[in-house]
Chain A
Amino acid sequence: MTPPELAVQEATGRSATTAVVNDFSIQIATVNGSGSQTANLVLLRSLFQTGVPVSGKNLFPSNIAGLPTWFTIRASRHGYSGRKKEIDILVAMNPETARDDVLGLAPGAVALYDEPLKLNDVRDDLVFYPVPFDKLVATVCPDAKMRKLVRNVIYDGVLARLLNIDLAQMEQALGKQLAKKARAMALNMAALQAGFDFAVNSLEKRDLFRVEPMTATAGKILIDGNAAGAIGAMMAGVTVVAWYPITPSSSVCETLATYMRQYRMDKETGKATFAIVQAEDELSALGMALGAGWLGARSMTATAGPGISLMSEFIGLGYYAEIPTVVFDVQRVGPSTGLPTRTAQGDILSTAFLSHGDTRHPMFLPSSPGEVYEMAIEAFDLADGLQTPVFVMSDLDLGMNTWMADPFPYPEKPLDRGKRLTAEKLQALGEWGRYKDVDGDGIPYRTVAGDGLPTYFCRGSGHNERGQYSERPADYVANIDRIDRKFQHARTLMPPPVIDRADGARIGIIGYGTSHWGIAESRDQLRQEAGIETSYLRLRAFPFSRDVEAFVAAHDRVYIVEQNRDGQMAALVKLDVDAALAPRLRSVLHYDGLPLDARTITDEILRQERK
């Protein structure tokens, strides 16, 4: 597809010179560590402040400095937040990748580049804007050492002029980025102005992309999913956090620590109502979380695939000894170290069954920061409620990229700490057994050290309903079957799928997590370009509600869209639905590490439909 593809499409019947308003993608190609983050966020934020729906995605290498990095901003008046496959405007700042970056553009795209790179020789079907960055920066920043820090802001100034973004919005966005650092602010403003003035004096606008003020972002916030998870965990009342650094999950606990220091110090004493510990590895991180959960604290850890692998054995203990804790898995590309800074939905199967023996774990499947927030809170209640480890399955795209969201609502539901034995309950029951199912839902009553109630010995080895060591076959089966009842019960406790049934649609789509954004847009493409109506079911949790089976039954073909090679969620769905329905399931798979885009889904569904 050509870059101004939507424009062309929407311009049908209009002249090809119609401006493309608030509907384009910008890719900024820089070198990791070159200080482009401020410039990129200022650009993103200025669009947001102008009322235009935006999303920002950072495609970065596993490296601190020196390797190529691409930051993509999508402005979409339709509100599409998924990645746009086609780049409309390239800002080429990285000499090493510049040629390839330009060669990858479709005809008609814009390439703004650092003048000495002489990219206009590479091809003749693009709109080129050469900008002499070094010259411009030298005029505004006499101190050569500081130049690197403000050089990138120049492209913001150029783009402000070319795209018609109000400089005042950029100034406000800069102010937000730089807080109150007056000197940095002055330098950056000068660079911004220099870029703008250069464009006024030396560049002639020859492309169609334009920004016009909208009101679509009023009241919204900009946030990444990891920060959303951190806020959710804090509002859920987490008290013990143990973690080990790993991209893309580290900022869950780092952001959490920042917020906790601000909002969770006890008013009277000034002391912490929480403990956050950087453990020596993920084994230990989960061990600490389980230890705290055993004693009745709300505990959590956050990790990515390699950590999940290490946690496998301990999760089995948590499952079988029935200890609540919450694990945030911000998924990235594997196997092994894989592509550590690229996104995937590759831990679905391994996490669903993590550990050995008969284990199955509840997983929340958030699609947006708002859902990470809400599901984080629910996850703590569910962990306590079911007395088991619970997973929140995010991914790098959701966790580390910038998304627009509605402000998070204050949780109205009080904390639910689950079935804890009390003296009164004990009296009513007459006799207590730690693993005795008295209510028929598989969930027993628990006691914790320090509560003055009967004690028990908690273990991963075989035990009977009183918690005593037992290798009796009947005890084992009774116990493991009861634990399964808890899991079945979870179907009704977890968020149901979001279903959009199109009248008469023969085709259904199932998605989850960040795949949602590409799917939502792809459904419009399928309708507009091929006249295909689709129904859509977005999973929000595993175990599935019974609606999933009904959805599959109601459609001839159901495409399960996900970001892994083997169709991991499709496998879980197949296990869950009537075997006769399995032939209706098809997969749309995307696993190159880039966030999933609509075009990929549309093309693949059409290809399979034509077969």
Chain B
Amino acid sequence: MTIPGTPTPAPGKKVNRIGLALTAYRGGKSTLCAGCGHNAISERIIEAFFEMGVDGQQVIKLSGIGCSSKSPAYFLGQSHGLNAVHGRMPSVATGAMLANKGMLAIGVSGDGDTGAIGIGQFVHLMRRNVPMIYIVENNGCYGLTKGQLSPTADIGSTLKNGVVNDLPAIDLCALAIDLGASFVARSFSGDKRQMLSLLEAAIAHRGTAMLDIISPCVTFNDHEGSTKSYSYVKDHDEPLEEISFVPFFEDISVDYEPGTVQAVSLHDGSTVFLKKLAGDYDPTNKSMARRVIYESAARGEVATGLIYIEPNRPDFLALLNLVDQPLASLPAEKTRPPREALDAIMDALR
């Protein structure tokens, strides 16, 4: 039994419940800058899928365009992946999940990819609650096009080239909650433990799991004056809870002090345990979730953890009353109506 939250002991040697070693979850070699937050996130994704014993053949990974969006090539090498166009990965993911609802989709986007060019598709993804994990690797700037401001840059923050941002930031978590997202979390690429638990919970969640992960760009936005730098986030991180995750296949037995821990069960039988740091914080309470985001932002802090969860909201595919078999693999007998059907249609048009 693993105590939830305890870091996994020396991965690599052990195999997971489907008999695979951690290396089976790796992808190609990263071409991102050394020290880029995005690389740390890829590592956590590899660990989380390994820990959860997910079959890579059942996963699709998607992204838009940007440094962040390159990262799906660097994890889960056994899975099909698709690099869409800038900001428009949500629609591709939606179509893919319509085609095969048995897949587990993970999408990686950037703050420009999501908050600027892709904000429309982001909005509708959240609203539809398409089952997928949607990660925003948020560095407050455009990495791939060399350091322009992004819409998540905080007002007053500066870029390395001295440009000061004079527009308010879009808070993607607050927006996602407003839009009806069913799983909204924020974390920091430097917080291994929290990110791993959140990712595992996201894998178990059915619906869109939106993770806004602050992921400093060491090349263009990791300096004094940036609010998305390693040092700034380390100093201003305000965890809402200590989060631990117990997958459905493990015995639930946790040490916790009653009254300070909230357990939320997810659709596949897994449970997230949230050891509250912030008083009465309840991640199933929408107005409380909004308030904690705004209040911590007003204090110049970044609230991290599982901010909001609604585990039972029906996902988009459930609303469509689809047959059990993936649409993509239905045989022609199921997809081409019989002669009598066409005859009946023709008769009605005479």
CB neighbours of A221 from chain B (8 A): 346, 349-350
Within 8 A of B (CB), among A336-375: none
Contact residue among A296, A410, A459 (Cβ-Cβ distance under 8 Å from B99): A296
Contact residue among B95, B323, B330, B332 (Cβ-Cβ distance under 8 Å from A291): B95
The answer to whether A411 and B328 touch across the interface, beta carbons within 8 angstroms, is no
Within 8 A of A (CB), among B299-350: 320-324, 326-330, 332, 334-337, 339, 341-343, 345-346, 349-350
Within 8 A of B (CB), among A406-458: 407-408, 410-411, 414-415, 447-452, 455-458
Q: Is the C-beta of A248 less than 8 angstroms from some C-beta in chain B?
A: no
The answer to whether B98 and A296 touch across the interface, beta carbons within 8 angstroms, is no
Q: How far is the CA of A307 from the CA of B292 in the complex (A)?
A: 41
Q: Mark B69-87, 1 if CB is under 8 A from A, else 0.
A: 0001100001111111100
B99 to chain A, nearest CB (A): 4
Q: Mark A467-479, 1 if CB is under 8 A from B, else 0.
A: 0010000000000
The answer to whether A291 and B336 touch across the interface, beta carbons within 8 angstroms, is no
Q: Is the C-beta of B60 less than 8 angstroms from some C-beta in chain A?
A: yes
Contact residue among A263, A277, A285, A457 (Cβ-Cβ distance under 8 Å from B98): A277
CB neighbours of A457 from chain B (8 A): 72-73, 80-83
CB neighbours of A452 from chain B (8 A): 57
A389 to chain B, nearest CB (A): 13
The answer to whether B93 and A291 touch across the interface, beta carbons within 8 angstroms, is yes
Q: How far is the CA of A126 from the CA of B349 in the complex (A)?
A: 37
A277 to chain B, nearest CB (A): 7
Q: Mark A218-234, 1 if CB is under 8 A from B, else 0.
A: 01111100000001001
CB neighbours of A288 from chain B (8 A): 91-92, 94-95, 98
The answer to whether B330 and A294 touch across the interface, beta carbons within 8 angstroms, is no
Q: Is the C-beta of A150 less than 8 angstroms from some C-beta in chain B?
A: no
Contact residue among A407, A449, A458, A459 (Cβ-Cβ distance under 8 Å from B100): A449
The answer to whether A296 and B83 touch across the interface, beta carbons within 8 angstroms, is no
The answer to whether B332 and A414 touch across the interface, beta carbons within 8 angstroms, is yes
CB neighbours of A411 from chain B (8 A): 336
Q: Is the C-beta of A108 less than 8 angstroms from some C-beta in chain B?
A: no
Q: How far is the CA of A283 from the CA of B85 in the complex (A)?
A: 10
Chain A residue at minimum C-beta to C-beta distance from B346? A407
Chain A residue at minimum C-beta to C-beta distance from B79? A455
* Contact A456-B80, Cβ < 8 Å, known A271-B322, A407-B346: yes
Q: Is the C-beta of A237 less than 8 angstroms from some C-beta in chain B?
A: yes
Q: Is the C-beta of B102 less than 8 angstroms from some C-beta in chain A?
A: yes
CB neighbours of B321 from chain A (8 A): 271-272
Q: Is the C-beta of B120 less than 8 angstroms from some C-beta in chain A?
A: yes
Q: How far is the CA of A585 from the CA of B65 in the complex (A)?
A: 45
Chain A residue at minimum C-beta to C-beta distance from B327? A239
* Contact A239-B342, Cβ < 8 Å, known A414-B332, A450-B57: no
The answer to whether B342 and A408 touch across the interface, beta carbons within 8 angstroms, is yes
CB neighbours of B329 from chain A (8 A): 296, 450-451
Chain B residue at minimum C-beta to C-beta distance from A219? B350
The answer to whether A297 and B91 touch across the interface, beta carbons within 8 angstroms, is no
Q: How far is the CA of A297 from the CA of B326 in the complex (A)?
A: 9
CB neighbours of B219 from chain A (8 A): none
CB neighbours of B94 from chain A (8 A): 242, 277, 284, 287-288, 291
The answer to whether A259 and B320 touch across the interface, beta carbons within 8 angstroms, is no
Q: Is the C-beta of A15 less than 8 angstroms from some C-beta in chain B?
A: no
* Contact A235-B323, Cβ < 8 Å, known A264-B337, A292-B99: no
Chain B residue at minimum C-beta to C-beta distance from A287? B91
The answer to whether A298 and B57 touch across the interface, beta carbons within 8 angstroms, is no
Q: Which of A279, A283, A291, A317 has the most CB of B within 10 A?
A: A291
Q: How far is the CA of A219 from the CA of B349 in the complex (A)?
A: 10
The answer to whether B85 and A313 touch across the interface, beta carbons within 8 angstroms, is yes
Q: How many residues of A contact B (CB 8 A)?
A: 69
Q: How far is the CA of A448 from the CA of B95 in the complex (A)?
A: 14
The answer to whether B349 and A299 touch across the interface, beta carbons within 8 angstroms, is no
CB neighbours of B345 from chain A (8 A): 231, 259, 263
Q: Mark B52-78, 1 if CB is under 8 A from A, else 0.
A: 000011111010000000001100001
Chain B residue at minimum C-beta to C-beta distance from A275? B98
The answer to whether A295 and B99 touch across the interface, beta carbons within 8 angstroms, is yes
The answer to whether B81 and A458 touch across the interface, beta carbons within 8 angstroms, is yes
* Contact A280-B103, Cβ < 8 Å, known A242-B95, A448-B80, A459-B83: no
The answer to whether A291 and B99 touch across the interface, beta carbons within 8 angstroms, is yes
The answer to whether B99 and A240 touch across the interface, beta carbons within 8 angstroms, is yes
Chain A residue at minimum C-beta to C-beta distance from B334? A273
A509 to chain B, nearest CB (A): 31
Q: Is the C-beta of A66 less than 8 angstroms from some C-beta in chain B?
A: no
Q: How far is the CA of A460 from the CA of B339 in the complex (A)?
A: 40
B329 to chain A, nearest CB (A): 7
Q: Is the C-beta of B276 less than 8 angstroms from some C-beta in chain A?
A: no
CB neighbours of B84 from chain A (8 A): 287, 317, 460
B289 to chain A, nearest CB (A): 25
* Contact A235-B327, Cβ < 8 Å, known A280-B124, A450-B58: no
Q: Is the C-beta of A134 less than 8 angstroms from some C-beta in chain B?
A: no
Q: How far is the CA of A103 from the CA of B11 in the complex (A)?
A: 88
Q: How far is the CA of A447 from the CA of B329 in the complex (A)?
A: 12
The answer to whether B332 and A292 touch across the interface, beta carbons within 8 angstroms, is no
B286 to chain A, nearest CB (A): 23
CB neighbours of B59 from chain A (8 A): 449
CB neighbours of B350 from chain A (8 A): 219-222, 407
CB neighbours of B88 from chain A (8 A): 283-284, 287, 314
Contact residue among B83, B324, B334, B349 (Cβ-Cβ distance under 8 Å from A458): B83
* Contact A284-B121, Cβ < 8 Å, known A239-B327, A299-B95, A450-B326: yes
Q: Is the C-beta of B264 less than 8 angstroms from some C-beta in chain A?
A: no
A464 to chain B, nearest CB (A): 13
A208 to chain B, nearest CB (A): 31
Chain B residue at minimum C-beta to C-beta distance from A296? B328
* Contact A272-B328, Cβ < 8 Å, known A234-B337, A264-B335: no
Contact residue among B92, B102, B103, B334 (Cβ-Cβ distance under 8 Å from A266): B334
Chain B residue at minimum C-beta to C-beta distance from A467? B81
* Contact A449-B337, Cβ < 8 Å, known A275-B320, A284-B121: no
Q: How far is the CA of A321 from the CA of B84 in the complex (A)?
A: 10
The answer to whether B99 and A239 touch across the interface, beta carbons within 8 angstroms, is yes
A427 to chain B, nearest CB (A): 18
The answer to whether B120 and A450 touch across the interface, beta carbons within 8 angstroms, is no
B133 to chain A, nearest CB (A): 15
Q: Which of B62, B124, B342, B343 has the most CB of A within 10 A?
A: B342
B69 to chain A, nearest CB (A): 10
The answer to whether B79 and A266 touch across the interface, beta carbons within 8 angstroms, is no
The 4 A-B residue pairs with the shortest CB-CB distance, nearest first, are A291-B95, A287-B91, A237-B335, A288-B95
Q: A279-B91, A291-B93, A448-B328 are in contact. List 10 more A-B contacts (CB 8 A).
A: A231-B342, A239-B328, A280-B120, A286-B91, A292-B328, A410-B342, A415-B336, A457-B81, A459-B82, A460-B85
24 contacts between A and B (CB under 8 A): A234-B337, A235-B337, A239-B335, A242-B91, A263-B337, A273-B335, A277-B320, A288-B91, A291-B93, A292-B328, A296-B100, A296-B329, A297-B328, A298-B335, A299-B99, A321-B82, A410-B342, A415-B332, A449-B79, A450-B326, A455-B57, A455-B80, A457-B80, A469-B73
Using CB atoms and an 8 Å cutoff, list the residues of chain A in contact with chain B.
219-223, 231, 234-240, 242, 259, 263-264, 266, 269, 271-275, 277, 279-281, 283-299, 313-314, 317, 321, 407-408, 410-411, 414-415, 447-452, 455-461, 469
Using CB atoms and an 8 Å cutoff, list the residues of chain B in contact with chain A.
56-60, 62, 72-73, 78-85, 88, 90-100, 102-103, 120-121, 123-124, 320-324, 326-330, 332, 334-337, 339, 341-343, 345-346, 349-350
